[in-house]
């Protein structure tokens, strides 16, 4: 882990009572988990598929789908529904749509329910849990996020989801609803995320923020986001370093 801590702007972190953690990419290595499971499924049904290209395309379509909800072009829909719609476009572009039956499609959508956590996550959360309320705060649905956390055995105290606000991050409603459910002022909550857009949304809502570097979150073939471009209270290399800085 490359260590680089930035304590910026003198924000008072002593008031923080709860920490909300982004899920895909920040807490879980979604890319490795999706690639491995899609590869297994493809082999099982004898499907020739460029799994890395399909996974990348799926994630791109996913962000377009989130945008369509955020821009009001469509009603709020559950993430599994968006993932299923996006999968259709992935299979069509890969020219395999007619070779994948409905049951396999349901299995594919559910690979997002069982992903590996990054190695530092469980240990970091265990150090943080005595001092802070720890919440997942995901664009994943409430049930999906509950399943991810349960399957990985992570010690979160509660699950929060964009679904609770019927908006997707970085819409401010997601962070406002999270703070309201935690019964805290925004400045008493710290958002931890590996994406500048999530950090920016949380800051707009008045949260404290910690950017965590996950240079491989979109796969080893993709250039990582540059943390220097992200305005935040802290930049950390992993959850253990976050626990260090917060005195846990």
Q: Which residues bind its own copies (CB under 8 A)?
A: 78, 80, 129, 133, 141-144, 146-147, 149-150, 157-159, 161, 163-164, 181-184
Shortest Å, Cβ 54 to its own copies: 25
DSSP string computed for 196-246? HHHHHHHHHTT-EEEEE--TTTT-TTSPPP-GGG---SEEESSHHHHHHHT
Nearer to its own copies, 19 or 199 (CB): 19
Shortest Å, Cβ 145 to its own copies: 8
Shortest Å, Cβ 97 to its own copies: 25
Nearer to its own copies, 98 or 103 (CB): 103
Nearer to its own copies, 141 or 227 (CB): 141
For 160, phi then psi, to 5°, come to -125, 145
Q: How far apart are the first and last CA of the chain?
A: 19
Shortest Å, Cβ 242 to its own copies: 19
Buried b (16+ CB within 10 A) or exposed e, 167-195: bbbbbbbbbbbbbeebebebbbbbbbbbb
For 235, phi then psi, to 5°, come to -120, 125
140: closest CA among 172, 177, 112?
A: 112
Nearer to its own copies, 158 or 172 (CB): 158
Shortest Å, Cβ 181 to its own copies: 4
Q: What contacts 14, CB < 8 A, 6 or more positions away?
A: none
Shortest Å, Cβ 184 to its own copies: 7
Buried b (16+ CB within 10 A) or exposed e, 205-244: bebbbbbbbbeebbbeeeeebebeebebbbbbbbbbbbbb
Nearer to its own copies, 142 or 216 (CB): 142
Nearer to its own copies, 95 or 183 (CB): 183
Nearer to its own copies, 148 or 234 (CB): 148
Shortest Å, Cβ 166 to its own copies: 11
Q: What contacts 110, CB < 8 A, 6 or more positions away?
A: 80
């Amino acid at each position: 882990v490359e260590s680089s801590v930035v304590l910026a702007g003198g924000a008072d972190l002593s008031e923080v009572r709860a920490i909300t953690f982004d899920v895909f990419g920040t807490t879980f290595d979604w890319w490795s988990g999706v690639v491995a499971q899609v590869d297994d499924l493809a082999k099982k049904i004898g499907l020739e598929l460029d799994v890395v290209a399909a996974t990348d395309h799926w994630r791109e379509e996913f962000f377009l789908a989130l945008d369509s909800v955020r821009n009001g072009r469509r009603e709020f829909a559950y993430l599994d529904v968006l993932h299923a719609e996006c999968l259709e476009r992935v299979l069509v572009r890969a020219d395999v749509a007619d070779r994948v039956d409905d049951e396999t499609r349901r299995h594919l959508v559910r690979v997002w329910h069982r992903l590996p956590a990054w190695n530092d996550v469980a240990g970091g959360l265990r150090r943080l849990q005595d001092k802070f309320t720890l919440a997942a705060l995901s664009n994943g649905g409430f049930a999906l996020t509950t399943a991810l956390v349960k399957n990985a055995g992570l010690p979160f105290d509660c699950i929060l989801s964009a679904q609770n606000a019927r908006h997707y991050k970085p819409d401010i409603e997601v962070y406002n609803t999270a703070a309201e459910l935690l019964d805290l002022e925004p400045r008493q909550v710290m958002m931890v995320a590996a994406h500048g857009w999530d950090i920016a949304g949380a800051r707009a809502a008045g949260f404290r923020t910690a950017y965590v570097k996950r240079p491989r979150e979109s796969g080893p073939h993709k250039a990582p986001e540059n943390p220097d471009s992200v305005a935040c209270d802290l930049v950390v290399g992993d959850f253990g370093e976050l626990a260090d800085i917060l005195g846990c």
